[in-house]
Each structure stands twice: as structure tokens, then as C-alpha cells.
Structure 1
Amino acid sequence: MGQAYSSLSIEERTQISLLRSQDVKPAEIARQLGRSKSTISRELGRNRSAGKPYLAAAAQQLATRRRTAAKNGRRKQGPMLDSPLGRFVRGELRRALSPEQIAGRLKRMHGDDLSQRVSHETIYQAIYLVPRGDLRTELIDARRSQV
């Protein structure tokens, strides 16, 4: 089994930039850095503009921006419980339905209308993203099984 993935550091990105400027192939860069070829290829594809060289500082900035956006996106799911769809989900949780059952019910009720559907993973995330307080406690207690 391979080792756990970790984000590229600015030092690794600088090394990639230097090696790419010397026309070193991604497979050789991966070998020198002790990284997977796919990690290096993905890094070069994500962080290089067409016709422009790979620049470590720009790549680091883009990676930081993506990571921040992903974290902020997860945090914004908590208010989902205040929408009409969220109120429906809360009601179903209070009736002791599991997030999987609620997601299945929404799928049957709304078919192709994705705006009226939510996955069970999103329901779990929304429960745990609710700030401390009565609603959070109520939603956690409403789950059928304690984790």
C-alpha cells in the first residue's frame, strides 16, 4: 500500500519549476521528489496557464485559494438546514429517519429536480456544521444510531 497523500510544499513546487525550466519530464521530477507521477502531472495541469511556464509562487497561491474555497464551501452547508429543503430534512430526522432514508425519499419525491434533492453525506455534514446549541443537540440526538 502507498503512503498517505500530502500536499506539495512551496519547496517542492520550486523544485518542480526549476526542473521544468530545464525540460525535465514529469516522471523524472516525480522520481527526484519521491512523489507519484500522477501527483506531478496533476500539479502541472492545474497550475500552468496555456503557453506559460509553471511558476512555483503562482502554483502555491492557486493551491491555497482552492483549499480555502473548499473549506469555506463545506462550512456554508450548515445554513442548508434553514431552507425549505432543510426544514423538511429536520422534520424527517425528528421522525427518526436516517439520512440515507431521507435522501432516498427526496429522490423518489423529486426525481430529476436536483435542487430539491440532497445526499445523505450532505445531511450528515449539515448536522455536524450546525453551531453549538439546541438545534445541533436535537439533530444529533434525532439520529437513529449514535456514532
Structure 2
Amino acid sequence: MDYTQAFAISAAGMTVERTRVDVAAINLANANTVQDARDGVYRPLRAVARTTGPASFAGLVDAGVSDAPGLSLPALPNVTVEAADVAPRMVYEPGHPFANTKGFVAYPGVDSAVEMVTMMSATRAYEANVSAMNTARTMALKALDIGGTT
């Protein structure tokens, strides 16, 4: 059995989850930043994972069956960071230097609760990928031990 596929899948998952944690941390760090009208308001970011292979489960099964002799590695996700299209949060602060003519200041539309949940779920998923990789490594080492004694 080729364990490099299991390692590659876990590594791709860890890359996606690490990016999700990084993006959530950036969004939380910029949740209360204010910029003037020329530069615009910070737009929250989102980590988007996409695959280039078959989109449906049936497509994945068909692709696996067609490649049955070699059973190739499934399409791994590529993660990109994109700006979310979220309206800024308007706060009434007439004394603020960046307030508009009506006294409102535009803050980024970052929802702290959503970002914290994203960070926690990404951390748990990262830990699950580490556990899967460690299990595959242990299985590979045990297979070598068994194969070496015969």
C-alpha cells in the first residue's frame, strides 16, 4: 500500500485549515480598523477551497473505478483567499476624525463570533488531519516491522 497518498491528503487538509485560521486571525485583527474614504474600509477575507476534479460523489466513484488498476490520488483542494462582499458596519461617532457628514464611521463588516467559530473549527480539523497523518505513519512503520521479520 502506498502511504504517500494518505500523507498528501492529510497535508492538503492541514494547508486548508491553517489558511482558514490565518484568515480568521487577520479578520479579527482588522475588526476595528478605520480608514478614510480614499482608501476604503477593510473587507473581510474568506479562505475558499476548491478542487478541479469531479464535483459529485458519483463522479468521484466513477473516476476511482476508471482508474482502478492504479487508483490515483483524488483531486486535492487548492485554497485561495478572497475578499468577502460584506457591507461595512456603520457606527455613530460624530467626533471621530473619519466620520462622514452624518456622523457615522464605517468599520469593517467582521463578525467576531463567526470568526471565532471558524478559528475553533479549523483548529479542530487541523488536529484531526494531524491525527490521521500520525496514524498512517504508525501503520507504515508497523508494516515495515512486520515485513522485516519474515
Which has the bigger relative contact order, CA under 8 A and spacing at least 6?
2
Q: Under a length normalisation based on structure 1, what TM-score does the superposition of the two structures give?
A: 0.30
The structure richer in strand per residue is: 2
Q: Under a length normalisation based on structure 2, what TM-score does the superposition of the two structures give?
A: 0.29
The structure richer in helix per residue is: 1
